Chain A
Amino acid sequence: MLNFVVRRLLGMLPVLLAVSLLTFLIASLLPGDLALVILGDQATPENVAALRRDMGLDQPLWWRYLSWLGHVVQGDLGRSFRTGQTVLQAVAERIPVSLQLMLMAEFIGLLIGVPVAIACAARAGGAFDRFMTGSAFAMLSMPSFLTAILLIYLFAVELRWLPATGYVPFTEAPLANLRFFVLPALTLALAEWPGIMRVLRSDMIATLQEDYIALAKAKGLKPSRILFVHALKPSSLTLVTVTGINIGRLLGGTLIVESVFALPGIGRLLVGAIYTRDLVILQGVVLLVACGFVIVNFIVDMLYAVLDPRIRHGHA
């Protein structure tokens, strides 16, 4: 097991290196001179040249990458030239919002998706299965800005149960905080559950054909035990993968949902950085989000080993 963990950890290194190179190149190869952006239209060529020298922009690309990477490794991701905030500060300020949104959305998504998938697989081809598979398909093709607006209309405008937009930190007003998060999390969850449901349903249906399920029936086990103990665990590998990808994606913030519900998350930070051409923030945030993705995938790999002893013992 330890061997397995170390192997997976070492495997992450080249991925992280590639990610850093890509984020650096994207930011550096964007058209437009950073020094010119900072100094504005009135800058004299001398000033621009001086700033380029100060920022190291006159150095060759590979040198700039290496020196940036050197700083990154030491935890220095740079500083916004507009707000003066470091990348880490900016991210630390926004990450609780995106993290909470992600957790709540994923929780609601799994809460809907998993039971529906099990119920559908238990009676595959039945009326409930066909209805839910159809609904999932409909939900999947619904863009999140539309879901968001419909939910706001229903719960905030018509029923007046929940606030439409806004944010307070959890530490200040927990209940109000949760109320602010319900609609955005629900918007995301409504887009998440169809995927969760579809992969788990099809894996469950395949598992229920297995010999060991026939044996479990022949052993006279209760149907609930067959579904939840014998079938769910071996069917959940793809589910874990999908959930991991969802979490990674939501970690990076959700541009549309954060914008519609006015939540100050990573998504809004990124949009802001793009609008103001704040390349340092953009590059740093993209790198951090990518790292988060890699870490989530590592956790997914570990979960595989927890779920399937054959992976744990290096048999598969």
Chain B
Amino acid sequence: MRIVIIDDSGLRATVLEEGLREAGYDDIHIVPPRGAFVARLERMAPDVVLMDLGSPSRDTLEEMLSVSRALARPIAMFVDQSDEAMIGAAIDAGVSAYVVDGLRKERVKPVLELAVRRFNAFSKMQTELEEARTALADRKVLDRAKSILMNQRGLSEQDAYGLLRSSAMNQGKKIVDVAQALITASDLLGGGL
């Protein structure tokens, strides 16, 4: 079974490809949706096409599927239209899958399920990465605000942090927002670091 993954994010495609290889599929190709990707895909004559539901190139792909004379058999999205739970899970995970007509659903279902799991794992990974990045950025803002307070008001690091925290609580704001406001004000007043 030839599986083509159309994906812009090299990392997600790799995560998916690895999973499929571990599951014993070995005819897997990754095509980024750029330039003449449709012509490449046509030449590959895939049995299953997996694509990120969020990719703006889905309309281009579907147009090709509806007009291509090169593809021997029509390709439809999702192998079993009656399996609403599977389709719902795929849409939630952000996977769209196109399958050639005539391929038995028992053969395709594991591929689809695997794609859904890998897409979910990938987006979890991305969320965690994003959270880690935000935490790091927040810490930098806090450190800068603290040092402004330490320099301008002669506070210890602990007291500077305490002052930021109590101001945030009094104003009902997040501590990082108060710190950012302090930095902006300090920059405007020319007293920044």
Whether chain B is bound by chain A comes out as no
Binding site for A on B (CB under 8 A): none
Binding site for B on A (CB under 8 A): none
